[in-house]
Amino acid sequence: MNSIILQTATRFLMPLILVFSVVMMLQGHNKPGGGFVGGLLAAAAFALHALAFNPAETRASIRFDLRSIIATGLLCALSAGVLSLAQGMPLFTGLWMDVAVPGVGHVHLGTPMLFDLGVYLVVLGITLLMVISLVED
């Protein structure tokens, strides 16, 4: 598609949608959202890019193989469950720790965030693999 209006709108909207997808993923364990919704939003941003430009440019802008994104997401989600087993607790028990971040202060991180990140990456990778394959045909 060679619509200059769609291409211009995509250049403006894509960063906003991607930032919103990260916000949705980060607040997911406290409010509605999470890795699934965030991953779908990120995939929608890249799908919009694929429609406005072409799938080859979209694949180049991602810079990672989509199967590697899926595998990394599965590894993150699995790690979130296995870490609790290593501590002698039941599978997927939430583990928490405080991390000192310079300029921010103490941040409370846990395995649910790691699980949400894994789901985000899996949903992003699978959805983009389907959408880009469809747009290429």
Mean pLDDT calculated for residue range 85-110: 86
Q: Over the stretch 27-54, which tens digit does the pLDDT of each residue have?
A: 876 777 789 999 999 999 999 999 999 8
Domain count, the chain: 1
Cα gap 101→60, rounded to integer Å: 33
pLDDT recorded at residue 1? 62
Q: What share of the chain is helix, strand, coil (3-state, %, to 5)?
A: 70, 10, 20
Residue-number span of the structural domain to which 43 is assigned: 4-136
Phi, psi dihedrals of residue 98, rounded to the nearest 5°: -95, 130
pLDDT recorded at residue 26? 87
Q: Which one-letter DSSP state was computed for residue 90?
A: -
Check: pTM over 0.85? Answer yes or no.
yes
| Cβ pair 111, 119 in contact under 8 A | no
Q: Over the stretch 9-28, which tens digit does the pLDDT of each residue have?
A: 999 999 999 999 999 998 87
Instruction: With a cut of 70, say whether residue 83 has pLDDT above it.
Output: yes
